[in-house]
Amino acid sequence: MSEMHQESSGSGDSFDLSQFYQIFFEEAGENLDLMEQMLLNLNLEAADDEELNGIFRCAHSVKGGAATFGFADVAELTHQMESLLDRLRRHELQPNPQMVDVLLESADVSRGLLARHQAGGAGDPLPTADLVRRISLLASGGMLTPEPAPLVQSDSQSKVLGATQKLTNASAPSGVAPAERSLAISIGPMDKPEQADAILELFRDIAGLGKIVASTSDREDTRVFAVETTSSDEDLLDLFEFHISRELVKIQTVPETGAVTPGDGQELSESSAIHAGLTSYADDPPPGAPLAPLPGFGFFDGSPGAPAAGATVVQPAAEQKTAVANPAARAAAPAAQTEAATIRVAISKVDQLINLVGELVITQAMLAQNSRALDPAVYQQMLVGLADLDRNTRDLQESVMSIRMIPMSIVFSRFPRMLRDLAGKLGKKVDFITQGEATELDKGLVEKITDPLTHLVRNSCDHGIEMPADRLAAGKPETGTITLSAAHQGGSIVIEVRDDGRGMSREKILNKARERGLSVSDQMPDSEVWQLIFAPGFSTAEVVTDVSGRGVGMDVVKRNITALNGTVEIDSAEGFGMKVSVRLPLTLAIMDGMSVGIGNEVYLLPLSSVIESFQVDANAVNTVGQGAQLVKVREEYMPVIEMEKLFQVPRFSAEKCNSIMVVIEADGSRVALLVDELLGQQQVVVKNLESNYRKVPNVSGATILGDGKVALILDTAALVRRSRH
Amino acid sequence: MTRILAVDDSPSMRKMVAFTLSGAGYQVVEAVDGIDAYEKAVNQTFDLVLTDQNMPRLDGLGLTRKLREHPQFKTVPILMLTTESSDLMKQAGRAAGATGWLVKPFDPTRLLEVIKKVIC
């Protein structure tokens, strides 16, 4: 055993910690996100111990990792955060909004620092000195006159105010420009003079506090330090008070040619401290010392396994080791399985897996199709096998798809912070409620839905929620509520953004629409009126609301969501608020399709947009101007698109005639597609046509059919738009 | 084979410790917090427990106290890895029954040196 150890310490110098960087970056990011979330949820009046501990733990973990992996700037900043949080969780300080602001800002800066390290140190270094100073001054307590700023007050303003206040406090009380002073500080007499060494850490931790050097002392119970600083005595005492009681500290100004020179002491640096710890350990700690006062590490005398008493204490440990060796062997197996609940995998690997499963599904479909011609009596076994293959393939596909599913909380979590800042800027009071954060959605969709949702939530806060005074005047609670919810409904996910703000005015939208020359009527149902705000460039300033427009950029939102095969619906009641529902398919990779035949070609329609299909009665089709056709379905005229002409499908046999129409709906309108035949419904794996070929009008993607042929998936929204022109 | 239980809620620290120790020929079992560690500890045997202090559910001190109550862990060395090197912390560690402490951050070489002092 000892040989092994010998070897290990020999190779110790070549440890490459960089292999853990990635894990650390991800973990630190998660911790910072979590911390931000908890900070935002923190109830300042009655902060929960568990919450404060949780926030502390986040900063603590980031700091520990950053220090271990050598990201000194992150470690320094998070250390300051930790110190502040530590005092908060010990109830030595009362949390206030300024602390939350500074901590949030620090989390942002930490992210920036980490991103810079992750990019290999590219880009300009971020300045942290001011932030560090601000936190440490807040953490030292009492330095700041905490004036609880209400949420409505501009954040940045209060921050600047706070900062200047702190700076003036920190400078010399007389108000003159701070000059560097040389001080001799003696601390003692103390029972444990080591405690005084804590102020060395203070100087190391607080950038800009000055320089400190431990100096020789003529008394054992007193420590002497030479200090160069611009801070006032009072400020220093305030800081020291943390560790040492005020009465023990004596500060003397030293003339420039001071008697205390750095040469007398030992410059305290990280490495020398570590060396000191290790070498003095080798020198044996003083016997009988209650606690080994060495930096770095130490052992408690007489405690189990302590090396100082190795001969006597370790022996029983070794005995016990052998005595229970057998149960250990038995128990080893079950322990391994609970080790990790999650693994991190590159998204490219998952996509590769999904692709392969997609191919497998196609191959399986091909086999299934070919096997239909086989005689069941002869090939019974093979057919049973194929049926199993069918079931397993579907299960496999489902499981693989679920890997890409991530909870909506990933998206939702960014909003509290955004709303807090926005509400602060606008002077509004907003409560943010999220529901159904655990609802899962394909990662690709989650990424794409984030921007539209951000826009909707912003709109709600910006234009929906009224100013507190207006709300009170309208008999509503002063604080508005924005609710973001997600839920599964059938094969889709419905995400709703609700607010209890002023809602939209039907009349004003209709008036504006008339001004813009849109064809509208007073009899239009509400749902259609609300859809008007999605019209491109439908500037709703002074229309929807008296103050400002709702729906600026709503056309972009709508377009983005439509591009994801989703739909947007609006519901609103003037004076009571508004609800925007976004309905999305669960995944973009698999689609339920209806295959239709046109000539010898097969096309696919998203089943979600298919309303009905019917045999065409020639009398029901009317040709209007420019050769456009309309079909009358249950006393309602609908535009017809002749797919054969649209896609210029070559027709080789004359006898086949167009006979079936499929009604599809998109963007709230319906069109009838004229096709040759309906072939069936099937799940298809959607392949991107653009990346594999090029963009084709009226086509949203492609898939491979069971027989190995490529079929195009029709872009229903584009077809409906086409019929309008 | 010397078995070490490494307890830390931070995956990167845990991986680093596990990698360092297993590279040095120790058998390492990881635990994510005090509760997890205790469950693993009492079902197996270990020659050394390395535990972080600040963890959710059950912290390092709590774990140390609990382990010391268990007959199997009366004498097994328990090292606390902590960023808090204050005397108060050390006293608490001592009172809880820890064998010693090691201040974070530490580098792998140092970790091994300290461990060697405890495990013979």
The 10s digit of each residue's pLDDT in A598-611 is 888 899 998 878 88
3-state DSSP percent of chain A in helix, strand and coil, to 5:
45, 20, 35
Domain ranges of chain A: 17-170, 181-268, 347-404, 407-585, 590-724
pLDDT of A10 over the 50 cut:
no
> Are B109 and A15 inside 8 Å of each other by CB?
yes
> What is the homologous superfamily of the domain B3-118 according to CATH?
Response regulator (3.40.50.2300)
> Are B106 and A297 inside 8 Å of each other by CB?
yes
pLDDT of A120 over the 70 cut:
yes
| Residue-by-residue DSSP string for B24-80 | TT-EEEEESSHHHHHHHHHHS--SEEEEES--SSS-HHHHHHHHHHSGGGSSS-EEE
Residue A497 banded pLDDT, cuts 50, 70, 90: very high
Residue A328 banded pLDDT, cuts 50, 70, 90: very low
Range with the poorest average pLDDT among A24-28, A440-444, A571-575, B87-91: B87-91
| Residue-by-residue DSSP string for A512-544 | HHHHTT----TTS-HHHHHHGGGSTT---TTTT
pLDDT of residue A596: 92
Say yes or no: A376 contacts chain B, CB-CB below 8 A: no
> Per-residue pLDDT averaged across A534-543, rounded?
59
CA dist list (Å): A211 to A204, A225, A244, A257: 8, 10, 19, 16
CA-wise closest residue to B80 among B56, B109, B107, B49:
B49
| Nearest-by-CA chain B residue for A304 | B75
pLDDT of residue A251: 79
> Per-residue pLDDT averaged across A409-418, rounded?
84
| Nearest-by-CA chain B residue for A23 | B12
> What is the homologous superfamily of the domain A17-170 according to CATH?
HPT domain (1.20.120.160)
pLDDT of residue B7: 92
Distance in Å, alpha carbon of A272 to nearest chain B alpha carbon: 14
Residue A294 banded pLDDT, cuts 50, 70, 90: very low
The 10s digit of each residue's pLDDT in B60-95 is 888 998 888 888 888 888 888 877 667 777 788 888
From chain B, the residues in CB contact with A317 under 8 A are 47, 75-77
| Complex-level ipTM | 0.70
CATH of segment(s) A590-724 = 2.40.50.180
The 10s digit of each residue's pLDDT in A636-654 is 888 998 888 888 888 766 6
> Are B120 and A314 inside 8 Å of each other by CB?
yes
CA angle at A641 for the pair A637 and A645, rounded to the nearest 5°? 150
pLDDT of residue A604: 92
pLDDT of B10 over the 50 cut:
yes
pLDDT of A259 over the 70 cut:
no
Identify the residue with better confidence: A640 or A171: A640
CA angle at A15 for the pair A9 and A17, rounded to the nearest 5°? 145
From chain A, the residues in CB contact with B74 under 8 A are 304
Nearest to A317 among B75, B98, B104 (CB): B75
**Phi and psi based region of residue A465 (left: phi greater than 0; alpha: psi -120 to 50; beta: remaining):** beta
Identify the residue with better confidence: A190 or A50: A50
Nearest to A339 among B30, B44, B99 (CB): B30
Choosing among 1.10.10.10, 3.30.565.10, 3.40.50.720, 3.40.630.30, the CATH entry for A407-585 is 3.30.565.10
CATH of segment(s) A181-268 = 3.30.70
Domain ranges of chain B: 3-118
Distance in Å, alpha carbon of B103 to nearest chain A alpha carbon: 5
Phi, psi of A229 (to 5 degrees): -155, 160
> Per-residue pLDDT averaged across A668-672, rounded?
82
Range with the poorest average pLDDT among A484-498, A534-548, B58-72, B75-89: A534-548
Percent share of chain A, pLDDT over 70? 72
CA dist list (Å): A563 to A56, A452, A492, A585, B102: 43, 12, 15, 11, 56
From chain B, the residues in CB contact with A316 under 8 A are 75
Nearest to A67 among B2, B44, B105 (CB): B105
Say yes or no: A125 contacts chain B, CB-CB below 8 A: no
Q: Is the peptide bond before A97 cis (omega within 30 degrees of 0)?
A: no
Chain A residues 130-149 with a CB less than 8 Å from chain B? none
> Are B100 and A299 inside 8 Å of each other by CB?
yes
pLDDT of residue A153: 38
From chain A, the residues in CB contact with B20 under 8 A are 15
Say yes or no: B120 contacts chain A, CB-CB below 8 A: yes
From chain B, the residues in CB contact with A321 under 8 A are 45, 47
> Are A9 and B91 inside 8 Å of each other by CB?
no
pLDDT of A353 over the 80 cut:
yes
Residue A616, helix vs strand vs coil: coil
Q: Give the A:B interface size as CB pairs under 8 Å.
A: 179
Nearest to A331 among B30, B44, B100 (CB): B44
> Are A69 and B93 inside 8 Å of each other by CB?
no
Residue A450, helix vs strand vs coil: helix
Strands (DSSP E) found in A164-285: 181-187, 211-215, 223-229, 249-253
CA dist list (Å): A476 to A94, A430, A462: 32, 13, 17
Q: What single letter denotes the amino acid at residue A22?
A: Q
pLDDT of residue A603: 93
Distance in Å, alpha carbon of B45 to nearest chain A alpha carbon: 5
Chain B residues 37-76 with a CB less than 8 Å from chain A? 40, 43-45, 47-48, 52, 54-56, 68, 72, 74-76
pLDDT of residue B1: 77
**What is the β-pairing status of strands A629-633 and A223-229?**
unpaired
From chain B, the residues in CB contact with A63 under 8 A are 83
Say yes or no: A9 contacts chain B, CB-CB below 8 A: yes
